[in-house]
Structure 1
Amino acid sequence: MELAEKNWFSSWFDTPYYHILYKDRNDDEAREFMQNLVSFLDLPKNATILDLACGKGRHSVFLNQLGYNVTGVDLSENSIRHARQFENHSLRFYTHCMCEPVDEKFDAVFNLFTSLGYFENEKDNLNSIKAIKQELKPGGYGVIDFMNVKKVIQTLVPEENKTVQGIDFEINRRFKDGYVMKDIRFTDEDMDHSYTEKVQALTLHDFQKYFQEAGIVLKHTFGNYRLERFDEQNSDRLILVFN
């Protein structure tokens, strides 16, 4: 795939080291978020949900356990290969780039845990949002869960060392040219590795412009996984509900 050859995330996300570094993500918090979200949206059991950029499928699995018919898609072949061990009659996974619509419509489309803003071409952010609109059934809801960039930039930790599974990760963070960037360096089995994560610092105003251009109506804005009010200075997340 041409996209995979030119973007940093397709190589970094496909390595085992990405999953080693982030293996301690809070599953309880993710499960609580899914419960709060489907309750707020009043999604009936057996509703169809697309988990867009699903990674190794943890949100998809939680949603399926809550009684929903879930499809998870991701660009990373390794992540999808891992996720497929959880497949059943109402849970399936396959590789797909979210900037193009899947050939199916859903009651809800979720894009979770800051899985937008990676593209080198900014138009692909808008294309991804337009794709979500095409993937929704009439009356369906889209949800984007993004970082609150203002708080992230204000509280950025420039340097961090983290040891996971015997690997010492050296992490350097910075804000540059409209992107939140993270340089990750480590050595494993006498080989040096270096990757840079680069996520566009999209604000609520940026999303509002995308939504206007895509013909999408923003319905609700939340600032954390408990679905409390969004505050640009203090909220941990920017969670957008739209259709």
Structure 2
Amino acid sequence: MPNSHSTTTNGGKPENWYASWFDTPYYHILYKDRDYAEAQLFMDNITSYLNLPENAKILDLACGKGRHSIYLNQLGYDVTGADLSENSINEASKYANETLHFQVHDMREPWEEKFDAIFNLFTSFGYFESDDDNFTTLKAIHDSLSEYGFAVIDFMNVDQVIQNLVPSETKSVDGIDFHIKRYVEDNHIVKEIKFNDDAQDFCFYEKVKALTLSDFESMMDQAGIYLLDVFGDYKLRKFHKNDSERLIMVFK
């Protein structure tokens, strides 16, 4: 599970963890060793599978600092990267050019322009407390596609994640010891991240709804969305409920 957010030092869980945690430098420190080669392989595979036209307009939704947007742009696409985190968008905007744009955007809001492809990558879905908000996000993605456009949601495979959940570990990065706990609560997979820096204690949470393929299917049915294909990893192999690493859904 990649992403995380929300600080409280008083032990209470913040409502919108994602609005604060993603905006801190600590989020980027903790996850700086992510496997971006694997991510690029995924971009290569999915764009070739979708057979996108040259200069296709792609929306990278929840783009963070824009690393995947930048790579998609290098492949020749006209890319917009969008994220709720102003800090991340400020950082990403340093790489903007005529065919690569970044803007702060709430994924629940549809876009006026239409895209040939919308990518929502690395479990950047299911952050909201309310099921309605998750449904609204799905609908907004659907409504922002061009007539022949495709959307791709790359989510964790909840069954496999819960089966293999590491309850606690400590990761030391840049001299900071991140104490991480993982557990399932109220149908959410929760990651609690505690650490001390400059004699100050911090506590952040990542909290993602434990959405299964059947949860997505019923949301899609309700939204009038046609699910075209489901893959289980970045090499686009078949999805297996018990052991696939990812749940990658393609719809139009």
TM-score tier, shorter chain, comes to over 0.9
**Distance change (3 Å), C-alpha of 1:131 and 1:58:** same
Confirm or deny that 1:78 pairs with 2:79.
no
| Percent identity (aligned) | 57
CA distance, structure 2, for counterparts of residue 59 and residue 226 of structure 1: 17
Q: 1:9 aligns with which of 9, 18, 22?
A: 18
* 1:133 counterpart residue number: 142
- Flag as ranges the 4+ runs of structure 1 deviating above 4 A: none
Aligned to 2:219: 210
Cα distance, 1:102 vs structure 2: 1.7
Measure, in 2, the Cα distance between the counterparts of 1:20 and 1:65: 25
1:113 maps onto 2:122 in alignment = yes
Equivalent residue of 1:235, what SS? coil
- Specify the SS of the correspondent of 1:130: helix
TM-score scaled by length of structure 2? 0.94
Query: Quick one: which amino acid aligns to residue 235 of structure 1?
Result: S
1:228 aligns with 2:245: no
The answer to whether the aligner puts 1:190 opposite 2:165 as a matched pair is no
- 5 Å-filtered alignment, 1:113-192, equals 113-192=122-201
Q: How does 1:28-47 map to 2 (within 5 A)?
A: 28-47=37-56
Report SS of the residue matched to 1:174: strand
Amino acid at match of 2:164: T
Residue number in structure 2 paired with 1:219: 228
Distance 2:199 2:103 in 1: 34
Higher relative contact order (CA 8 A, sep 6+): 2
Q: What's the secondary structure of 2:183's corresponding residue?
A: strand
Structure 2 CA distance for aligned equivalents of residues 164 and 214 of structure 1: 42
Tell me the distance in 2 between the aligned counterparts of 1:6 and 1:202.
19
Find the residue that maps to 2:107 and give its secondary structure.
coil
SS of the aligned residue for 2:53 comes to: coil
Unaligned residue ranges in structure 1 (runs of 5+): none
1:88 aligns with 2:97: yes
When the two structures are aligned, how many residues end up with a matched partner?
A: 240
Question: Following the alignment from structure 1 to structure 2, what is the Cα–Cα distance between the partners of residues 190 and 102?
Answer: 44
CA distance in 2, matches of 1:216, 1:172: 36
Counterpart for residue 107 of structure 2: 98
SS in 2 for 1:206: helix
Cα distance in 1 between the residues matched to 2:111 and 2:89: 16
SS of residue in 2 equivalent to 1:129: helix
Work out whether 1:237 is the aligned partner of 2:246: yes
- Among candidates 33, 36, 51, match of residue 27 of structure 1: 36
Shift of 1:18: 0.4
Q: Distance in 1 between matches of 2:91 and 2:218?
A: 36
| 1:57 paired residue number | 66
Instruction: Please state how far the C-alpha of 1:214 moved relative to its aligned partner.
Output: 0.8
Partner of 1:229, secondary structure, is coil
Question: After superposition, what is the alpha-carbon deviation per residue over 1:110-163, rounded to whole angstroms, capped at 9, x for unaligned?
Answer: 100000111011111100110011110001101000000000000000011000
Residues 187-227 of structure 1, C-alpha deviations (whole Å, 9 max, x = no match)? 00111000111100000000001101111000000000000
Partner Cα separation in structure 1 for residue 88 and residue 166 of structure 2: 28
Give the secondary-structure state (helix, strand or coil) at the position aligned to 2:248.
strand
Instruction: Give, as a single letter, the amino acid of the residue that structure 1 aligns with 2:110.
Output: P
Q: Which runs of 5+ in 2 are unaligned?
A: 1-5, 7-13
